[in-house]
Chains A and B, each alone.
Chain A
């Protein structure tokens, strides 16, 4: 009806799921950047209360857990692309377990900070910026775990196969992003900040 004559083209545009997820990641990166800037700006400016050096312990084990989960989700995604549904489910479950372990580690750390050192979000500038930044990240981990668990449920109900591999790849992009943010947060809070 309104076509213009033109030579037949090989017309291939990017997958919209990936582009959409990239957009979300860019937006979320901007939010995290602002919290990181606030954290760095307020380093050393607390008037009283505990300081980072006094109370922070580097969470190496739980960081390894989280970063390994990036590897397992990547492998899971690849397995699904090749149609190995069982292996995909196993790797996917391990990813969830590692993520949950990381959250558990955060909970342990916060418990220690609150009850042993008396550091809360309202104690001083360090408390406010620390809990906000780490808490924002933990919220994103939680949201990710929820989404991963939904996929696990569908997977267990045998609804996740090769046809869903593009969507699974898109979701795992989010999970990689969450891990990348942790690398930044870890560096800023536990390395630079102390």
Chain B
């Protein structure tokens, strides 16, 4: 990205030495630049994580394949999961939050700009540290190298006895470091949203994106930290001779699972809630109607946040908890589906009676709705503990969570990219390429992840580097792999679009989508100071009020 995009108009024609530009970006505390750094960082790791997935799928294309050894395969699925959650999904969502929240609430920057930069660089360091494991240290028996304990790093597989060498430590410390970065950004978002809103913007008049990022940040504070705590305990075990998870000394393997999933389940809501935010901003604009049921959307999200803290052991239905515990987690898991379903209905209600334009952001949004519905329903299936005794730890679960993460989160992210790229760069993304990206990805996604459910139903467990030639498994795995390649091509189309449009895309202007929130009131890209003068607002859609002075929202809210 050149500094042109951010410079004052008068400096546009100056060519500056690249060292200066790099220095500016490395030392920036501007929320917009940090947002872009987060997003670009995440995109790079998206490609790397995708390569890991491709290696996995090539190895599994037929039984008894020997594309990679079991040791390499186990590292691949560990790194794929860890990378995608911690170095793609979290950074990209924090990146969008960083960029958009101050603009949408009429502020000049985040509450703590230097903490913002520090948090980004902590996250970045974590990713680099994790990947250094491929090169770094050979421990005992040459057992260094990338971690291979799965992204949940279950005890006692991570004990020194079973994982000699530093590979597990790369996982632990990389995530500990980036976890602190996440906590920093969450604190920053909360302080920004609570303390820097422009005059007139009560919490009741705040864009849903701000509300949902507030809820998400609150969850980060109490969900990431259990993982940090467990990781500190793991380091105590591995280096100070502690026994937190040492089953030989009376320790419990299950308690790692509890700590991990107390983090792990809220984490997936942390990932999806900002995507709900994107949908809640994009669907109204392309339906030409306000969001249906704003207070309910806020309430449902807060409900989800609270209930999601009580469902974690549905990841542990098979560990032998008693029937009362299993029943408890069954009901809480089903209950959390209720506010989630309500949100889907509200989005449909927003589209109802509207005048829907199927530009690329809306295509991805509708894809999100369809796929998130299915993902939620397979979630309900697994909420039923006995059904889960068959489905868990199989490819059915892998299909379910990829349906949420790829079919839900990634589709929502693509929608967000196409929607806000013009604001961030001043240029529109190419619409035909966008549609090609959508259709290709939709095809590949369904080929892979619809079919994958059946492999689980036919008894195929997860995390296996090869499989016996059982009838059904071979054909299903072949189709899954082909779909993966199609998705890869679609991603390449997307990246090409991002790069090409940056240089050749049509100029966007302030408000290419005829939208209603404050970020569309400033230039594209915005000036460094965001607003010439801090705005004052009277409703949830300040630009609607400006464009329709005869019928402002403030009359109805």
Chain A residues at the B interface, C-beta cutoff of 8 Å: 1-6, 9, 11, 13-16, 19-20, 23-24, 26-28, 30-31, 33-35, 38, 41-42, 45-47, 120-122, 124-125, 128-129, 132, 136
Contact = CB atoms under 8 A, between A and B. Distances in A.
Contact of A13 (B188, B196, B225): B196
Given A23-B186, A122-B240, A125-B249, A1 B532 contact: yes
A93 to B, nearest CB: 29
A28 B188 CA distance: 15
A11 B201 CA distance: 9
B236 to A, nearest CB: 6
Given A26-B221, A46-B250, A120-B241, 13 more contacts: A2-B531, A4-B538, A5-B538, A16-B111, A16-B195, A20-B111, A20-B115, A27-B225, A30-B225, A30-B226, A34-B230, A132-B232, A132-B244
Nearest to B225: A30
Contacts of A30: 221-223, 225-226, 229
B1 interface: no
A20 B243 contact: no
B514 to A, nearest CB: 15
B187 A1 contact: no
Interface stretch (B141-149, B251-259, B399-407, B439-447): B251-259
B521 interface: yes
A16 B244 CA distance: 38
A4 B199 contact: no
B195 A132 contact: no
Contact of A124 (B115, B249, B252, B542): B249
- 9 shortest A-B CB distances, which residue pairs? A122-B241, A34-B229, A23-B187, A30-B225, A2-B521, A16-B195, A128-B242, A11-B199, A16-B111
A30 B187 CA distance: 14
Contacts of B532: 1
A11 to B, nearest CB: 4
Contacts, number: 138
A94 B115 CA distance: 30
B304 interface: no
Contacts of A121: 236, 240-242
A89 B134 CA distance: 52
B204 to A, nearest CB: 14
7 contacts: A4-B537, A9-B199, A16-B195, A20-B112, A20-B115, A124-B250, A132-B236
Given A11-B200, A31-B228, A34-B259, A20 B191 contact: yes
B26 interface: no
Contact of A26 (B111, B222, B250, B533): B222
The CB with the most chain B CB atoms within 10 A, among A1, A4, A16, A24, is that of: A4
Given A2-B535, A13-B196, A16-B191, A122 B222 contact: no
A56 B196 CA distance: 49
Contacts of B237: 128
A6 B536 contact: yes
Interface residues on B, range: 35 or more
Contacts of B190: 19-20, 23
B183 interface: yes
Contacts of B197: 13
B259 to A, nearest CB: 6
Given A11-B200, A14-B195, A16-B112, A31 B225 contact: yes
B381 interface: no
Q: Quick one: which of A2, A15, A28, A38 has the most chain B CB within 10 A?
A: A2
B522 interface: yes
Contacts of B554: 6
B536 A4 contact: yes
A34 B229 CA distance: 6
Interface in B187-241: 187-188, 190-192, 194-197, 199-200, 217-218, 221-226, 228-230, 232-233, 236-237, 240-241
Residue of B183, B186, B197, B229 most packed against chain A (CB within 10 A): B229
Name, among B186, B244, B262, B522, the residue most crowded by chain A CB atoms within 10 Å (CB to CB): B244
A140 to B, nearest CB: 13
B450 interface: no
Contacts of A13: 194-197
B433 to A, nearest CB: 32
Given A34-B225, A121-B241, A128-B244, A19 B259 contact: no
Given A19-B194, A23-B221, A3 B536 contact: yes
Given A4-B542, A6-B538, A128 B243 contact: yes
A4 B545 contact: yes
A11 B195 CA distance: 11
Contacts of B244: 38, 128-129, 132
B546 interface: yes
A125 B228 CA distance: 20
A15 B191 CA distance: 8
Contacts of A2: 518, 521-522, 531, 535, 542, 546
A121 to B, nearest CB: 5
